[in-house]
Structure 1
Amino acid sequence: MRMYDIIARKRDGRELTSPEIEFFVEGYTRGNIPDYQASALLMAVFINGMNERETADLTMAMARSGEQVDLSGIEGIKVDKHSTGGVGDTTTLVLMPLVSSCGVPMAKMSGRGLGHTGGTIDKLESIPGFRTELTMEEFISNVNRIKAAIMGQTYNIAPADGKLYALRDVTATIESIPLIASSIMSKKIAAGADAILLDVKVGSGAFMKDLKGGEELAKSMVKIGNNLGRKTVAFITDMNQPLGSSVGNSLEVREAIMTLKGRGSEALREICLSFGAHMLVMAGIARDTAAARSILEGNLNSGKALAKMKEIIETQGGNPHVVDNPDLLPLSREIVEFKAPKTGYIQRIEAEYIGKAALYLGAGREKKGDRVDPSVGLVLKKRLGDRVEQGETIADIYVNGGKGLKEAINILEMALHISEGKPDSLPPLIYKTIEN
């Protein structure tokens, strides 16, 4: 088998066989196939696409390129959740305690933030003492004991994806649905979950900017998961404004706590109830989403989900008292009010800009290895369609030593659009749910 023939086959718009895809992924991962040949094949895929079978084969080949996590030692159906990335997206911090409080084992491996999207591991590490570096034995033991554990993705999971993504990044082949779908799903398959819930975000703060592209990606990933024996459901959700009101690590932890107490973001609560209901059905805890939602709401109202969050934090070495008193979380020494320049309605919010403003303050990292300040960020006081008066505070900026303040203010001025008339319509929180 020759790489030249594989490139020519896809260049001419023909299907690649399963052995050809396996040959390519294995050879490139081991360094036997040079970048220039891999780049040629990626461009051929970008132009001519891949069918459902080819995409599933590529996904499995990348999943098998490294370690595959064995979660068979965990009792019950393991349901994983993955988001394509957003701003103010604190769903995992609410979903983990909420869903695990219903008896669903939540064995979650998460990453750190890069660019304008936050990372769940960075958020949790803002809790004093919280450990995200667990051995696999600790991880599995915690899930069996309290139904939940979360750790950083330190294992050699889908190394082929890492190499191919770096190459796609410099060869203008990022925006390919088969390549995006197989990249995401290879890591989810290798992580060992029995069922997968996908949150595909669309809008100004998301990788996918329009609904059509988001729907195509969601359908592709659902087909991959189902074809590979993992029950998979995708939600297409809006990211034309931050999901919650807080953007920044400790600020988002605080918002998650307040949401579990019934005093947080209504949008965040609704998303978590919708996701959680499907997760309970996939795990066999409830017969349908209506019954599942009733269980979830009961655990929110009774404080059972909040107690589970406290238990998760304590089990992983964190200070559980932050749940009772969120002021124990690190917060910046200075809060600067950002005021409305005129009276009117919030017509548009550029969510990506909001994320970049937090990045300038130190809440995120521009490249791997950058230090993150857990105490800084933004809290928005208004959402799309809200009326504001000139001089009214529409955001609080949490800043340390003035770092990035000027840049953050400049970006907020571009991000928040105020006009005299109300918006004609507001985007829905959830556009579609795709199950097959």
Structure 2
Amino acid sequence: MIGDFIQLNAFTVAAAELGKICCGEEKYHNEEATIRGIWDEFLVDLEKRIEEQDTYDKLSIFIRIAQSNLTVFADKLYKLYTNLEPCKESCHLEIKDFLYQIAIEVKETLETLYTKYAEHFEMNADIPYWIIYVNKKAIAYQNRIKHNLELRKVEPELIQIVDSYLNCLHVPGDSKIKSWRQFFYLQNLSNDILTYIETSRSETDTLKLIKILIGCNFNPLVFYEFMLDYSVRLVSADMPYEEQEMELLIFLRTIENVRPERKNGYNIEVPSIQESVCSYLQRELATVAKMKDVLMPYTINGSNGRTSNYYFEVATTIEELFFLMRVMLEVRFIKTKFKANLYSFVSRHIRTDRSKSPSAQYMRNIFGPNKEVPSRIIRKIRGWLMTMINYIDTHFGGQLKIWFIGALSYSFIFDVILN
């Protein structure tokens, strides 16, 4: 069979010469028929030689040799095809049609080897440029996906990442596709995203797409870096450590609960994207916990071996403090996703009259929205608020007068202009 593979090289040499006489009428057609005969004979002999392999190992070796040689042959045809130029102004380059047909048959031969002898086919071997070149349907799929992701307001950076990888399904020579396995992987990924964009839009489409990509184990470095940046943006350095932990824990739970849909990811030489992102989030949580331990002031030992981080003390009871917080929450002065954040913060950082270290459960019990508030608590907090207002009027009243006079002057001028 070595001689037959050498003949494939002879075919490309003869085809290059044929391009020089493409307008040679009868001579051209005679030469084309001769070269066509070489290829037809090769196909017949290839099938015969495959049948002659009488052991599993021999068949495995032969299929991979055939695959390798056909890949090299297809790439030579692609180079000839794309570099052909008319020999003269009136030349119609008939040879391009001939080479295109042969290249399609090479593609079909390789696909047959993959279908019939999948266990012997080397999925990590180079994929011919020609298979990508003729994959024109991928262009329409890519454009449809990009358009729909933009309509869903998915983060532009994530759209660009997905688009750049789908683009290489039809652009030969893109380094993002180096093997048959990656080609089939990206085709499957494209189909998964096409299914997704048929669903209803929502405000969480970026997160939904992230979950699809993680489920498909889309693990190139650029997506991992995007996930790191996305995770960082979930928290702010100004947020209390408890809130940082809460946001990171919720996101960690979301990623951990994604069901893997692909055993092998885009890159089989690196860990799964799910494992990588979860490891990063766990490291971030550990870092936040260490920062909290280091930066929280006045660490003291609490009862039962508990540790609290005392910030300040208030001149009210825990019941009065939480009534005040309830009012501030309802008028939207305080904003928090989770009331548990308030319980945790007060329990760890604030001392109150008669309660040096109240438990979170105790605070939860007194903070119920339907719980009746005693009048003494209402009077006490109202008194504190009135004291604060009086303080503002006494010490900052002058600034209020300046603001008030300015507002009246502006109103007077505005009325004059209108009238």
Higher strand proportion, which one?
A: 1
TM-score above 0.5, yes or no: no
Larger radius of gyration: 2
TM range (shorter): under 0.3
Q: TM-score, normalised by structure 1?
A: 0.26
Q: Which has the higher contact order (CA 8 A, sep 6+)?
A: 1
